[in-house]
Amino acid sequence: MIKVIVSDNDSPWKEILDHYFRHFMDFFFPIVHEAIDWSKGHEFIDKELQKIAPDAEIGRRTVDKLVKVWLKDGTEVWTAVHIEIQGKSDPRFAERMYVYHYRLFDKYHRNIISLAVLADARKTWRPNRFEYDCCGCRLQFHFLMVKLLDYADRMHVLATSNNPFAVVVMTHLKGLETAKDIYGRYAAKLRLIKDLYERGLGREDI
């Protein structure tokens, strides 16, 4: 499962994930990307996600997607992508990661990879597990997590990357800086378009 928490603004994540899922995995989760056999392609199976999560939707506030891939050893793996646009920390975020994970496994008996991308502006909010312990009965569920704020000190590296998500992250971080500056945010979006063109993306991609 991949969960993406982004700031409260119109987000391009859904469209970018649709077109550049492989680039997404390579940029944020290179170890998982390396384990996937991309020669077999990948398949979006959103309808299956709807069956186990009726609250999953595509809209301004949330985007949920489910993607089928195969590992190099032939294992079929499902990755669930959840993009949530919110301004406050969600105390049940890790719990929902776990619930989506076990529901998918319980219904389809597939290997599920749970990943989280946190795009909020709170440096200390870093959920990466769900656990409880009651009278010796213990549950621990861990998921991989990256925080976009951590890329702030790597802007020079992002500036030279050919991965479209490098531009997306740079623009997102600039957007956090200009959250209350309409003109600054507009200028950042123009720079995003310019950078994407310079990196070889065509008009239909942008």
Range of the domain at 77: 2-150
Residue-wise pLDDT for 69-86, tens only, equals 999 999 999 998 776 655
Binning pLDDT at 50, 70 and 90, where does residue 65 land? confident
- Residue 83 near residue 123 (C-beta atoms within 8 A): no
Report yes or no on 20 lying in a domain: yes
Q: Is residue 21 part of a domain?
A: yes
> Measuring CA to CA, which residue among 81, 79, 83, 73 is closest to residue 6?
83
C-alpha pair distances (Å), 206 with each of 95, 98, 101, 140, 184: 35, 34, 32, 41, 20
Residue 186 included in any domain: no
Query: Strand, helix or coil at 57?
Result: coil
Q: Is residue 161 part of a domain?
A: no
40 in a structural domain: yes
Residue 136 has pLDDT above 90, yes or no: yes
Tell me which of 179 and 124 has the higher pLDDT: 124
The domain total for the chain is 1
Cβ pair 114, 97 in contact under 8 A: yes
Segment 31-51 shows an average pLDDT of 92
Q: Is residue 42 part of a domain?
A: yes
Domain assignment present for residue 127? The answer is: yes
Per-residue pLDDT, 167? 85
